[in-house]
């Protein structure tokens, strides 16, 4: 664990009662899987096909953003809505092709952590700006569908992070108030979104160094550093 986490004195509410009221919401890329190289290559394939250039440092600037924002704001390719949709669709087709060509694995510690949550009946959701077809493709490859009771994706929202819409919808799908949910994020805009939604947030230092994630409630290198006790203490105030 990268940041000291002081355990407060035990709450009068039992651990079993708290477990019933905690929901876990996961960002996708950089939290469950590391597909950054796949995404970067898919942008490169798209740029080559469309005979377009990619700005310097475009990929880092676009972390956590939706394609609908990346294309006009970061790449500055077009502001035409129909063209943005066409380019976004092609980009994700390339991404899925690469995934199916190479296969993919979960990040270290993810399966162990999800197993622990599942055994302890902690409801889990995905809240991501990733297109649904990308997520369902990987869920099938990894056999991870059993872990998630809800999936909120780019198609379900009209506001991207740092707007909290995706996480608020995920909490709603879990039938939990936002203040009972903890979000797992790797990107700055995702941490901002979780905070804006009134949720606890644990940052995973896969995309950014721990020193840049201090606005989260807790920072870890990998999810299996966490325990139920630590999750419970997040809600002890």
Q: For 93-117, write each residue's pLDDT tens digit.
A: 999 999 999 999 999 999 999 999 9
CA–CA distance, 161 with 1 (Å, rounded to integer): 26
pLDDT attached to residue 6:
42
CATH number for the domain spanning 200: value is 3.40.50.1000
**7 pLDDT higher than 50:** no
Which stretch of 4-18, 48-62, 118-132, 158-172 has the lowest confidence by average pLDDT?
Answer: 4-18
End-to-end CA distance of the chain: 21
**Ranges 9-13, 51-55, 75-79, 221-225: which has the least confidence:** 9-13
**Which domain, by its residues, includes 84?**
36-102
pLDDT score at 20: 59
Last residue of a domain, one of 76, 102, 128: 102
Does residue 160 share a domain with residue 115? yes
Tell me: do 117 and 149 sit in the same domain.
Answer: yes
**Is residue 126 within 8 Å of 52, Cβ to Cβ?**
no
Query: Is residue 209's pLDDT more than 70?
Result: yes
Provide the pLDDT for residue 149.
98
Whether 91 and 166 map to the same domain: the answer is no
74 lies in some domain: yes
* CA within 13 Å, CB half, 194: 29
> Dihedral (C-alpha) 19, 193, 84, 28: value to the nearest 10 degrees?
-30
pTM equals: 0.82
Average the pLDDT over 109-136 and give the result.
Answer: 96
Q: Are 55 and 125 in a shared domain? A: no
What is the per-residue pLDDT for 62?
Answer: 87
Task: Give the number of domains in the chain.
Answer: 2
pLDDT greater than 80 at residue 174: yes
Same domain, 123 and 98: no
Share of the chain above pLDDT 70, in %: 91
Instruction: Quote the pLDDT of residue 85.
Output: 94
pLDDT of 195 strictly over 90: yes
Higher pLDDT, 233 or 13: 233
For β-strands 23-26 and 124-127, DSSP reports them as parallel
Q: What is the pLDDT of residue 181?
A: 98
Mean pLDDT score, 79-91: 96
Residues 209, 161 within the same domain: yes
Q: Quick check: 222 pLDDT over 50?
A: yes
Are the CB atoms for 64 and 189 separated by under 8 Å? yes
- Domain boundary residue among 102, 137, 159? 102
Residue 172 has pLDDT above 80, yes or no: yes
9-33 pLDDT tens trace: 444 444 455 555 899 999 999 999 9
pLDDT of 13 reads 45
Q: What is the pLDDT of residue 5?
A: 40
């Amino acid at each position: 664990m990268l940041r000291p986490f002081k355990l407060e004195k035990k709450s009068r509410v039992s651990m079993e009662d708290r477990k019933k009221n905690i929901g876990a919401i996961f960002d996708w890329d950089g939290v469950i899987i590391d597909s950054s190289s796949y995404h970067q290559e898919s942008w490169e394939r798209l740029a080559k096909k469309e005979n377009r250039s990619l700005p310097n440092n475009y990929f880092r600037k676009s972390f956590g953003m939706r394609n609908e924002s990346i294309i006009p704001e970061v790449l500055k390719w077009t502001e035409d809505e129909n063209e943005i949709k066409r380019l976004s669709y092609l980009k994700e087709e390339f991404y899925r092709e690469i995934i199916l060509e190479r296969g993919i694995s979960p990040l270290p510690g993810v399966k162990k952590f999800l197993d622990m949550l599942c055994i302890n009946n902690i409801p889990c959701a995905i809240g991501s700006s990733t297109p649904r077809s990308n997520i369902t493709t990987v869920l099938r490859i990894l056999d991870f569908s059993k872990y998630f009771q809800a999936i909120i994706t780019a198609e379900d929202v009209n506001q991207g992070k740092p707007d909290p819409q995706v996480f608020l919808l995920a909490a709603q799908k879990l039938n939990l108030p936002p203040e009972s949910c903890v979000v797992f994020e790797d990107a700055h805009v995702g941490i901002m979104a979780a905070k804006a939604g009134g949720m606890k947030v644990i940052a995973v230092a896969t995309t950014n160094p721990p020193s840049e994630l201090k606005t989260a409630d807790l920072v870890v290198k990998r999810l299996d550093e966490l325990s139920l006790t630590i999750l419970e203490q997040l809600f002890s105030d």
